Structure 1
Amino acid sequence: MTENINAALDRAARLFGKNEAVVDGDVRWTYDELDRRVRAFDGELDRLGLMKGDVVGVLALNSAAHLIAWLGAPRSGRVLNEINTRLSTPEIRYILDDSAARMLLVDDAFLEAGRELLRDCDTLDHLVYAGAGQSPADCVSLEVMTTSGSEASPVEVLDEDVAGIFYTGGTTGRPKGVLLSHGNLASNAKHALLCLGYDEHDRYLHAGPMFHLADGASTVALTWVGGAHVIVPGFTPDGWLRAVSEEKITKAMLVPTMITMLMAHEFGPDTDLSSLRSVLYGASPMPQALLATAAERLNTDFCQVYGMTEAAPIVTFMTHEDHRRGLAGEDPDAAVRLRSAGRPVVGVELEIRAPGGGARQPAGEVGEIVVRGPNITSGYLNRPEETAEVLPGDGWYHTGDMGYQDEAGYVFVVDRLKDMIISGGENVYSTEVENALYRHGDVEEVAVFGLPDEQWGEAVHAAVRLRPGSTTTAEMLRDHVRCLLAGFKVPREIHLVDQPLPKSGAGKILKRDLRAEFASRASVEVGAG
């Protein structure tokens, strides 16, 4: 059987055609209507001369139009290129050039950037307008494409054909385009269905960015079973609470930074979260105190996934039951496992190996997390050397994440291999220090990172944002950590900051930015002396 993501919408239209498929402001489409629009979009791509393998870029906020592109661009073998909306125009230009994109879909927020990119990118032939108003004369109208287009010519699409290019954040140098096939995305959708239990009665809220696979993990899965996609342009506490209340949302995905914002927000008298059955979180670990507060205030179950773009993205899953038992506080092992990322999902193999391709590590020993399964990428676009580095030919993807498994198979992610701090010859895992700092009640956000040190090689530093009104000092926080961890793990310096820590589009704290900022400050201070 061919693992083609087109099967998801085909099945939904056949079995759940009259079900509500899309809610986006005033837009309310059934699966019959969504299917018609996606097929028309596919047909218009034919008419505009886009062939199998041609790349369609999307630079837009969350919307019904965005969903059409997600489902329609790969339908006849073309390749979806989801672009992080937080990138600068030069960064986006690099991605479009690197992928040789021929079309770019933009909404009102990115129309001017799209015009500039159309002028400057050699391969870009068409700018598609997906905004709310009348389409400008220099653009192709998505509304016309999706209401006037005809059926596309039949094209065989195989499971190994690339369905999407998803660029990583570029933590080291230029961003890399992760190639994900139809088979990769279809396998991930099945993983999501097994873990999250979507069915035709579910109403899922797209509040995280649709360009990111943290949200995209549910896009194909939910479509496959005929659930409703409820879409807001982006996350705000008010908008999220209103959408859940008014649209009777049953399931949602949030990253911990969004949950932090929600917990700091006052719930209005019209807030009704009684429909909400489950919140999925990922992208980074969640402090246990925040998790307990969120479970109580939202009165819902939580579950967690760990993964990466290269895995399309799900690798491990921590269940609702894991969370219930851990938060109940009656089972010490369950409470400890709340700090884990759960266990490998069905169909994905995971091992902990000594860094550098070494032997498999026993339970409790830290090593590199390596995984394999039908969801794993074939590599990076135009990057053979970097592909060989993470996919050395043994069938396993080397994640670059450091972690360990306990005796029951729960995976504890302790650091990025490149983020591990070596201070005085000792390994310091930043996640361990962050968890210790989060156990202080006044800590709102924290990131731990290493900076060069003449005596120790690297010194442990932490950037901390405190809760409003807190009078806690950096030295008080150091004393707090000293009570929990060995002395060499205590941050040499704790930098108290007033603003939220810098984050990627997926909500991950950007430690590279913090390293650069505080290394620069240190240089200035040394120079001033």
Structure 2
Amino acid sequence: MHELGIGAWPAKRRLKNPDKTALVFGDETYTYRQFADAADRIAAVLALHGIGKGDPVAYLGENSPAFLQSLFAVTQLGAVFVPVNTRLAPPEITHVLTDSGARAVIHDPEFAERLAPGIAAAGIDQVIVTGDGDDARPGLRRLMAERLGGHMAVPVTHADPAIIMYTSGTTGKAKGAVLTHGNLTWVSINCLVDYDVVSTDVALLISPLFHAAALGMGALPVILKGGTIVLEKSFDPGRALRLIEQHGITMLSGVPTTYQLLADHPDWDGTDLSTLQKLTCGGSAVPTRILDAYEARGLSFSQGYGMTETSPGATSLAPDRTRDKQGSVGLPHFFMDVRIADEHGDMVPRGTVGEIEITGPNVFPGYLNLPEETAKAFTDDGWFRSGDMGFLDPDGYLFIADRLKDMIISGGENIYPAEVENLINDIDGVTGVAVIGVPDEKWGESPWAIVTVRDGLDVTTEQVRAHLDGRIARYKIPKNVIVVDELPRTASGKVRKADLRTRFGGGAAAPKPAGTAVPWQTETLRTVEDRDRRR
């Protein structure tokens, strides 16, 4: 059987462009030969540890060469890569490890303590630390040096799972979205077509690779085309500006805050940006002030929409339509299609708001171990139900109108209120809670908790934040907690969050108006750590 998986990509690039620079990470540079050799050696290490086709392998670590090398090592074995968000709390990590059935874990040393409960709960005995390790426990780098490597060409098809990527769910438990080799191949091809990725591109990747956008629409298309990745562990605007000039960066992706911080930096006006050609922005709509700042430097943006379940690209808005179609998330990617349905599943005329449904070869096959959730996520004729509301204009451009799910996007990170509400409800004295997104000039939205409490009791912001700290990622913890006499509810007892957003968001946080874009919901920004410290 022919090897159709993404795990073969480095080896094929080694054959075609062995001496081309594949990856730059600080002072480290890897040619495609060196990059592929490293992936082969890690595959040999994993095979020695008993990892084979279909086995889930979790990875918890910051952006680094080891992340990408491990991805291609795992997938060339026909095993399944499970990237873990580095900002998750121990209980959330435990859920990912146990739910995925991970048989091995590769991790950066600093995450050992957070991983320990999950490793024990999942019964994982194959644990490899990145770096050198020590004599008692040799790390990945030392283990690689002991292996001769050689490409492990395990036959896989486009239908075989390649990655399990966990995405927050409205029920409070993260769901494992199974992305196949075909899903990741086709999302990469869509990027080549719609963003004109070429072999001479040099892409600066500053967003975490454990999110679908940075991986599926950043790293993978560049490697498929044989370009160069300049990979950063975290985002610093001054350093990013220096790297753009130093390496002649042609491609950059981020969320609006990324671009705002770059434009606000003292070095902005003096940095040579002449090589930049492709700017992609996700997480939320690009504000006019940012468009103005970049257009003043001769730069414009591609925007888009999607989610983990679509690997993640569904639509894209070309830079030359940014102004006349402002607020739109564009047209379906070349090999995708989008339609709008009413509550009965019937198609609606253009201009009419309904649920966005998506089809195409990069739409995932389903959620791991959740057949009922998977069934609900698809229509009878196989279209993915996004859970987002939108409409198509007369030209077929998609506009996001609102969300069926009350998801909050803060600094590009997805926050599902139900997960936070479930934990706040555990606090003694809390009788009701609603978590909403309130406009934040820098981060787009910040989560606030509106609570009711028993008579004679009080609940403070500090108390709620202390209760949540360590249970969920810090970006999900409400910035503010407000006690009210009662929560507005419908006749059926559901909280009217639109009323709360209007009341506490100064009107601007009312239900999202037509034309409010919600691009690539899986994109993120490393400076959310700075935001956490501020809160």
Per the shorter chain, which TM-score range? Answer: 0.7 to 0.9
CA contact (8 A) 1:86 1:505 kept: no
CA 115–270 in structure 1, closer or farther in 2 if over 3 Å, else same: farther
Alignment counterpart, residue 337 of structure 2, candidates 332, 344, 349 = 349
CA contact (8 A) 2:214 2:523 kept: no
Aligned to 1:224: 224
Aligned to 1:23: 24
Aligned to 1:453: 488
For residue 186 of structure 1, give the secondary structure of its aligned residue in structure 2.
helix
**4+ residue segments displaced more than 6 Å:** 448-451, 488-491
CA 245–154 in structure 1, closer or farther in 2 if over 3 Å, else same: closer
CA 295–189 in structure 1, closer or farther in 2 if over 3 Å, else same: same
Task: Report the Cα distance in structure 2 between the residues aligned to 1:175 and 1:420, rounded to whole angstroms.
Answer: 13
Q: In the TM superposition, what is the alpha-carbon distance from 1:247 to its structure 2 partner? A: 1.9
Q: In the TM superposition, what is the alpha-carbon distance from 1:237 to its structure 2 partner? A: 1.4
State the AA in 2 paired with 1:311: T
Q: In the TM superposition, what is the alpha-carbon distance from 1:137 to its structure 2 partner? A: 4.4
Q: In the TM superposition, what is the alpha-carbon distance from 1:136 to its structure 2 partner? A: 3.2
Aligned to 1:331: none
Task: Report the Cα distance in structure 1 between the residues aligned to 2:281 and 2:442, rounded to whole angstroms.
Answer: 18
Q: In the TM superposition, what is the alpha-carbon distance from 1:45 to its structure 2 partner? A: 1.3
Residues 480-499 of structure 1: pairs in structure 2 closer than 5 A: none
Aligned to 1:237: 237
For residue 355 of structure 2, give the secondary structure of its aligned residue in structure 1.
strand
CA 320–64 in structure 1, closer or farther in 2 if over 3 Å, else same: same
Aligned to 1:74: 75
Q: In the TM superposition, what is the alpha-carbon distance from 1:95 to its structure 2 partner? A: 0.4
For residue 453 of structure 1, give the secondary structure of its aligned residue in structure 2.
coil
Aligned to 1:146: 144
Using structure 1 for the length normalisation, give the TM-score: 0.77
Alignment counterpart, residue 386 of structure 2, candidates 387, 393, 399 = 399
1:177-216 per-position Cα deviation (integer Å, ceiling 9, x unaligned): 0001101111111011112211221111110111111111
Aligned to 2:130: 130
1:378-434 per-position Cα deviation (integer Å, ceiling 9, x unaligned): 10001111111102442111000100000111000122112399xxxxxxxxxxxxx
CA 186–288 in structure 1, closer or farther in 2 if over 3 Å, else same: same
Task: Report the Cα distance in structure 2 between the residues aligned to 1:63 and 1:77, rounded to whole angstroms.
Answer: 22
Task: Report the Cα distance in structure 2 between the residues aligned to 1:445 and 1:34, rounded to whole angstroms.
Answer: 36
Q: In the TM superposition, what is the alpha-carbon distance from 1:286 to its structure 2 partner? A: 2.0
Task: Report the Cα distance in structure 1 between the residues aligned to 2:307 and 2:89, rounded to whole angstroms.
Answer: 23
Using structure 2 for the length normalisation, give the TM-score: 0.77
Task: Report the Cα distance in structure 2 between the residues aligned to 1:271 and 1:111, rounded to whole angstroms.
Answer: 40
Task: Report the Cα distance in structure 2 between the residues aligned to 1:111 and 1:207, rounded to whole angstroms.
Answer: 24
| Number of residue pairs aligned between Structure 1 and Structure 2 | 449
Aligned to 1:50: 51
Task: Report the Cα distance in structure 1 between the residues aligned to 2:383 and 2:512, rounded to whole angstroms.
Answer: 35
Task: Report the Cα distance in structure 2 between the residues aligned to 1:201 and 1:136, rounded to whole angstroms.
Answer: 40
Task: Report the Cα distance in structure 1 between the residues aligned to 2:208 and 2:181, rounded to whole angstroms.
Answer: 21
Aligned to 1:330: none
State the AA in 1 paired with 2:499: V
Alignment counterpart, residue 361 of structure 1, candidates 348, 365, 377 = 348
**Given the alignment of the two structures, is residue 506 of structure 1 paired with residue 524 of structure 2, yes or no?**
yes
CA contact (8 A) 1:74 1:163 kept: yes
Q: In the TM superposition, what is the alpha-carbon distance from 1:97 to its structure 2 partner? A: 0.7
Q: In the TM superposition, what is the alpha-carbon distance from 1:238 to its structure 2 partner? A: 2.0
CA contact (8 A) 2:58 2:106 kept: yes
Aligned to 1:196: 195
State the AA in 2 paired with 1:453: P
Aligned residues: percent identity?
31
Residues 10-409 of structure 1: pairs in structure 2 closer than 5 A: 10-115=11-116, 117-118=118-119, 120-131=120-131, 134-137=132-135, 139-149=137-147, 150-151=149-150, 153-216=152-215, 217-267=217-267, 271-297=271-297, 299-323=298-322, 326=323, 334=324, 337-355=325-343, 357-409=344-396
CA contact (8 A) 1:129 1:136 kept: no
Structure with more contact order per residue of length (Cα contacts < 8 Å, sep ≥ 6): 2
For residue 9 of structure 1, give the secondary structure of its aligned residue in structure 2.
helix
Aligned to 1:468: none
Task: Report the Cα distance in structure 2 between the residues aligned to 1:105 and 1:32, rounded to whole angstroms.
Answer: 23
CA contact (8 A) 1:8 1:220 kept: no
State the AA in 2 paired with 1:188: V
Q: In the TM superposition, what is the alpha-carbon distance from 1:463 to its structure 2 partner? A: 9.2
State the AA in 1 paired with 2:210: F
Q: In the TM superposition, what is the alpha-carbon distance from 1:461 to its structure 2 partner? A: 4.0
Q: What's the RMSD between the two structures over aligned residues?
A: 3.2
Task: Report the Cα distance in structure 2 between the residues aligned to 1:398 and 1:490, rounded to whole angstroms.
Answer: 19
Once the two structures are overlaid, the 10-residue window that deviates more, 61-70 or 271-280, is 271-280
State the AA in 2 paired with 1:62: N
CA contact (8 A) 1:340 1:411 kept: yes
Task: Name stretches of at least 5 consecutive residues in structure 2 with no aligned partner.
Answer: 409-437, 451-486, 514-520, 529-534
Task: Name stretches of at least 5 consecutive residues in structure 1 with no aligned partner.
Answer: 327-333, 422-436, 465-473, 492-502, 511-516, 518-529
Q: In the TM superposition, what is the alpha-carbon distance from 1:125 to its structure 2 partner? A: 1.9
CA contact (8 A) 2:291 2:300 kept: no
Task: Report the Cα distance in structure 1 between the residues aligned to 2:367 and 2:402, rounded to whole angstroms.
Answer: 23
CA contact (8 A) 1:101 1:123 kept: no
CA contact (8 A) 2:166 2:174 kept: yes
